[in-house]
């Protein structure tokens, strides 16, 4: 039987695995489903539609599944909700908002969300990521696996963060960040996440390939289309192909590798905004 504190409030269709623990002051508004080993420590709030896998831990004041922060969105519209994987930790004050399209906000497995970090509506987050305190992930952002952010990081709407990206504390990006690039300034990636590559088990040859891609895209002075031509000369290498796909499918500009101003960043940001939405 689930362990439910007498002060918890459960409304609507709520399905709990047998070993789920619901602590004091928690509130669940169904439809909500929690898998084996989930624990809400205290004062956590869940709002459906929400489906959560196994072994997820929610600390006090975590709130998942509530309506998007969009003044034009009817908060009574359930939408597609949220889908959460397994083994995630949501520390104090974390907020994850449900989708407002026909796709749910999606969180993968084994992510660590530090205090007051946030993912907006329709965000898609992979697995094995770490988000520092007060990291802000706006609506429609796509985050691949093994991304790490420092504290007080801001990610603009519709931005994509590639696999293994590292974002230094207090930095922001309104531009797409290719895999394993390190964001060292606002809209600037002046380095590579070498530590992350080594920890992921990449060989020296693979790391050298990423270095070559970085130099080609960030340091050669080539415009993106010309840089793609150079990358395609080594097509067939799985790592190079990953970068080719990332750049070819970009809807926002690719981040810069130098300290120059982000060309068109302000106008781009204004063009994709949707009212007061995240």
In tens, the pLDDT along 134-171 reads 999 999 999 999 999 999 999 999 999 999 999 999 99
Residue 227 to residue 216: CA distance in whole angstroms: 6
Has residue 97 been placed in a domain? yes
Question: Which range, of 115-124, 143-152, 266-275, averages the lowest pLDDT?
Answer: 266-275
Has residue 246 been placed in a domain? yes
Q: Which residue has the tokens 């696999």?
A: 163
* Average pLDDT value over all residues in the chain: 93
Has residue 278 been placed in a domain? no
Please count the structural domains in the chain: 1
Average pLDDT over residues 55-80: 96
Q: Which residue has the tokens 């909700």?
A: 81
Q: Are 104 and 98 in contact (CB under 8 A)?
A: yes
Residue 128 to residue 146: CA distance in whole angstroms: 5
pLDDT value of position 224: 84
Which tokens hold the place of 175?
């531009």
pLDDT value of position 271: 27
We report the CATH number of the domain holding residue 20 as 2.160.10.10
27: pLDDT strictly greater than 90: yes
Question: Which range, of 87-91, 191-195, 221-225, averages the lowest pLDDT?
Answer: 221-225
pLDDT band at 223 (very low <50, low <70, confident <90, very high): confident
Nearest-10 Cα torsion for 181, 190, 248, 84: 30
Supply the range of the domain harboring residue 237: 3-272
Q: pTM value?
A: 0.92
Has residue 25 been placed in a domain? yes
Has residue 53 been placed in a domain? yes
Q: Are 135 and 162 in contact (CB under 8 A)?
A: no
Has residue 277 been placed in a domain? no
């Amino acid at each position: 039987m689930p362990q439910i504190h007498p002060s918890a409030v459960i409304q609507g269709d709520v399905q709990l695995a047998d070993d789920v623990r619901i602590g004091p002051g928690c509130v669940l508004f169904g439809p909500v489903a929690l898998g084996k080993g989930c624990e809400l420590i205290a004062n956590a709030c869940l709002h459906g539609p929400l489906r959560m896998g196994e072994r997820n831990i929610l600390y006090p004041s975590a709130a998942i599944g509530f309506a998007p922060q969009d003044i034009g969105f009817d908060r009574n519209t359930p939408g597609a909700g949220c889908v959460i994987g397994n083994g995630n930790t949501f520390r104090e004050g974390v907020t994850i908002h449900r989708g407002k399209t026909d796709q749910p906000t999606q969180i993968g497995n084994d992510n660590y969300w530090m205090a007051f970090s946030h993912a907006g509506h329709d965000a898609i987050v992979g697995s094995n990521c770490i988000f520092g305190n007060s990291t802000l992930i706006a609506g429609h952002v796509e985050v691949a696996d093994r991304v790490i952010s420092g504290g007080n990081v801001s990610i603009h709407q519709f931005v994509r963060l590639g696999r293994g990206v590292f974002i230094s504390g207090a930095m922001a990006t309104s531009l797409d960040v290719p895999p394993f690039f390190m964001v060292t300034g606002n809209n600037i990636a002046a380095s590579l996440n070498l530590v992350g590559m080594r920890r992921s088990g990449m060989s020296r040859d693979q790391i050298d390939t990423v270095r070559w891609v970085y130099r080609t895209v960030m340091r050669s002075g080539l415009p993106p289309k010309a840089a793609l031509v150079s990358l395609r000369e080594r097509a067939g290498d799985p790592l190079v192909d990953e970068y080719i796909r990332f750049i070819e499918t970009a809807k926002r500009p690719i981040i810069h590798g130098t300290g120059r101003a982000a060309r068109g960043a302000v106008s781009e940001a204004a063009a994709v905004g949707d009212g007061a939405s995240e």
